[in-house]
A and B are shown apart, each in its own frame.
Chain A
């Protein structure tokens, strides 16, 4: 079993170190975090709807995909990316190789694979198709047939 990430901070694309807070901590202390520019870690069981009005001051969002069979993260990514147009990074952690295509198309902007998958060709799973049959948050590189 590979090590599961439980990060306390993360470096964003601009190379800034961003402090991360758990979802419950964030929701219970929203005022405290309004000016701090933190990232929020969301687990599948967290109610993403509670985050909607706070997105404008959240630096980035971490979605946890550790549980292979739990698909709630894909809907969470959809809400953030497509429904609410969140401009910050949406990072999938504890990601599985075989689910990259679903994560990326649902709106996840970058990911950290679990250790188990190091050494495999990610392209085969993040970009293994030339066509898609439905609208999604991110269909880049795909011919759309719908």
Chain B
């Protein structure tokens, strides 16, 4: 995987030094809260319900064991022994003291980690398929492109004060694990009829109160021209995006107001002025260097006859958590952090260190984070998967929930977040308790339940099979239900089922929806396919009868 060069590290240190000066000016009263807010957010620092929260970037979700240990140290030294892996592949710490931030960031910079632009109105961490480079049928591993584009928009002089936040995802695989069309900007690697690699560009996707699927603004932009095209997108957004209405800041509103055709035309006209500028051509030599950095650290193993161990619990875990690797002799192992009553994605410092040790032993030191808030061991020898499972089991990390309904995605919700209208984690816990029979979970199969505590939609509830959105009604917590959203095969915003349901009744409603699915499913039919075939009424009837 890519390692920061000495000059990259120097940049990180310089950024910390500058932020420390800003922090000191704020603490001494020389920098007002409004301006400091804008600056601290660009360093991933939020003021939450109880304390400051720091979001640390995990670019394209790739980590090494040294970095994970450093994050564990941060959890112990500066937090309360926990970190929270997010749906955008980052990690957050919830109990940070303001005067300690600079030292914390300095420690992270020593292992190539930072919090630059993990929040604020700038280009955020670029996300990628957590299985990038690991599966058959990819156009290419997206991560070298993620790294080049990430760098390009790092403290970009023209685009660091955009109207709103700007999230980018890049996918090179057949299935879309990145949910790129619900991002401000999504790039899909494509191959032209002539065999040239380029990008399809989708702009204006997003969730929140006005969920939208991104519009395709260009079907093929050659690799070399992608930076100039992205600059044109951002320039049009920077100059024409809404700044007068707090709920209309994102680029999706500009695309909607102008219309996708007009927006695309404006971008194209600007791009024609810059596309041949040699300074804006993507550096193909640097790209080749990065591709080498991201080459897989493993070679195919001899095809020896391999008989796996027989163990009931292992078999269940393996069925849900292990995938085949494109390199023969290897598997991809997904570790669920789901634990009853805990926020999905939470990991203790002890768990982080265990995962780091296991990555050293079983996965060439590498780990990946996912939008389902799990941890992937990308390179595990098939004949060591059982040993890895035993170690995970020993440390209570062998939850077989991956790929089942119980692997719920939930934001911190009303327990931690001051934006939340309702709790998320207790609802997730109640759903998990309702569906605690592993045979039933296996029968239901891969069905996503995502729970957001407010319209900011941090848990991506619009694009889950079953999405729950927390809200307040007469001082009580209610949940609006959406069903049949998805991003993996195609991007569909879930349909609202009907009136919101009280917190008391919401788990019953979820069970009814699952039962309608099971009663109508034909063979291996997915939830969204059943919904397309039978429509919304059977679900409405059961929930609201």
A133-B158 CB under 8 A given contacts A71-B238, A124-B18? no
Q: Are A133 and B154 within 8 A (Cβ)?
A: yes
A112 at the interface (CB under 8 A from B): no
Binds B, one of A12-20, A25-33, A35-43, A95-103: A95-103
Q: Which of A68, A77, A136, A146 contacts B38 (CB 8 A)?
A: A68
Q: Are A83 and B273 within 8 A (Cβ)?
A: yes
Q: How far is the CB of A101 from chain B (nearest CB, A)?
A: 7
Q: Which of A48, A102, A137 contacts B161 (CB 8 A)?
A: A102
Q: Are B155 and A101 within 8 A (Cβ)?
A: yes
Q: Which of B11, B21, B162 contacts A129 (CB 8 A)?
A: B11
Q: CA–CA, A130 to B13, complex, Å?
A: 11
Q: CA–CA, A70 to B161, complex, Å?
A: 6
Neighbouring B residues of A129 by C-beta, 8 Å: 11, 14-15, 18, 155
B-facing mask of A103-146, CB < 8 A → 1, else 0?
11110000000000000100011001111111111000001011
Neighbouring B residues of A77 by C-beta, 8 Å: 158
Q: CA–CA, A101 to B286, complex, Å?
A: 26
Query: Which chain A residues numbered 52 to 95 have a C-beta less than 8 Å away from chain B?
Result: 68-72, 74-75, 77-78, 83
B151 at the interface (CB under 8 A from A): yes
Q: Which of A69, A96, A102 contacts B121 (CB 8 A)?
A: A69
Q: Which of A48, A96, A134, A145 contacts B156 (CB 8 A)?
A: A134
Interface of B is mostly: helix
Most buried by A among B10, B21, B158: B158
Q: CA–CA, A77 to B157, complex, Å?
A: 10
A-facing mask of B170-195, CB < 8 A → 1, else 0?
00000000000000000000000000
Q: Are B238 and A72 within 8 A (Cβ)?
A: yes
Q: How far is the CB of A124 from chain B (nearest CB, A)?
A: 6
Neighbouring A residues of B286 by C-beta, 8 Å: 146
Q: Are B161 and A71 within 8 A (Cβ)?
A: yes
A128-B14 CB under 8 A given contacts A71-B160, A98-B39? yes
Closest to A144 in B: B279
Closest to B280 in A: A135
Q: Which of B22, B239, B274 contacts A75 (CB 8 A)?
A: B239
Neighbouring B residues of A96 by C-beta, 8 Å: 35
Q: How far is the CB of B453 from chain A (nearest CB, A)?
A: 26
Q: How far is the CB of B473 from chain A (nearest CB, A)?
A: 34
Neighbouring B residues of A106 by C-beta, 8 Å: 157-158
Neighbouring A residues of B162 by C-beta, 8 Å: 71
Q: How far is the CB of B8 from chain A (nearest CB, A)?
A: 8
Most buried by B among A48, A77, A124, A146: A146
Q: Are A130 and B10 within 8 A (Cβ)?
A: yes
For chain B, give the interface size range: 35 or more
Q: Are A130 and B158 within 8 A (Cβ)?
A: no
B235 at the interface (CB under 8 A from A): yes
Neighbouring B residues of A136 by C-beta, 8 Å: 156-158
Q: CA–CA, A16 to B237, complex, Å?
A: 37
Neighbouring A residues of B163 by C-beta, 8 Å: 71
A-facing mask of B1-42, CB < 8 A → 1, else 0?
000000110110011011001100100001100110011000
Q: How far is the CB of A126 from chain B (nearest CB, A)?
A: 11
Q: CA–CA, A138 to B11, complex, Å?
A: 18
Q: How far is the CB of A24 from chain B (nearest CB, A)?
A: 17
Closest to B286 in A: A146
Q: How far is the CB of A140 from chain B (nearest CB, A)?
A: 12
Closest to A65 in B: B161
Q: CA–CA, A106 to B34, complex, Å?
A: 24
Closest to B282 in A: A146
Q: CA–CA, A105 to B159, complex, Å?
A: 11
Q: Are B238 and A74 within 8 A (Cβ)?
A: yes
Neighbouring B residues of A134 by C-beta, 8 Å: 151-154, 156-157, 227
B243 at the interface (CB under 8 A from A): yes
Q: Are B279 and A102 within 8 A (Cβ)?
A: no
Q: Are B14 and A102 within 8 A (Cβ)?
A: no
Q: Are B280 and A75 within 8 A (Cβ)?
A: no
Q: Are A75 and B154 within 8 A (Cβ)?
A: no
Q: CA–CA, A125 to B39, complex, Å?
A: 13
Q: How far is the CB of B452 from chain A (nearest CB, A)?
A: 26
Neighbouring B residues of A70 by C-beta, 8 Å: 161, 243
Q: CA–CA, A130 to B5, complex, Å?
A: 14
Q: Are A105 and B14 within 8 A (Cβ)?
A: no
A-facing mask of B35-69, CB < 8 A → 1, else 0?
10011000000000000000000000000000000
Q: Are A74 and B18 within 8 A (Cβ)?
A: no
Q: CA–CA, A102 to B280, complex, Å?
A: 18
Q: Are B157 and A74 within 8 A (Cβ)?
A: yes
Q: Are A133 and B151 within 8 A (Cβ)?
A: yes
Neighbouring A residues of B273 by C-beta, 8 Å: 83
B324 at the interface (CB under 8 A from A): no
Q: CA–CA, A146 to B279, complex, Å?
A: 9
A75-B238 CB under 8 A given contacts A128-B17, A146-B152, A146-B283? yes
20 cross-chain CB contacts under 8 A: A69-B38, A69-B121, A72-B238, A72-B239, A74-B158, A74-B159, A75-B239, A78-B235, A83-B273, A99-B161, A102-B157, A102-B160, A106-B157, A120-B30, A125-B18, A131-B10, A133-B154, A134-B153, A134-B154, A135-B279
Given contact pairs A71-B121, A124-B18, enumerate 8 new A-B contacts (beta carbons under 8 Å): A74-B157, A74-B161, A120-B30, A128-B14, A129-B155, A134-B157, A135-B277, A135-B279
Residues of A with Cβ closer than 8 Å to B? 48, 68-72, 74-75, 77-78, 83, 96, 98-99, 101-106, 120, 124-125, 128-137, 143, 145-146
Residues of B with Cβ closer than 8 Å to A? 7-8, 10-11, 14-15, 17-18, 21-22, 25, 30-31, 34-35, 38-39, 121, 148, 151-163, 227, 235, 238-239, 243, 273-274, 277, 279-280, 283, 286
Closest 8 CB pairs of A and B: A71-B161, A105-B157, A135-B279, A133-B151, A106-B157, A102-B157, A74-B158, A128-B18
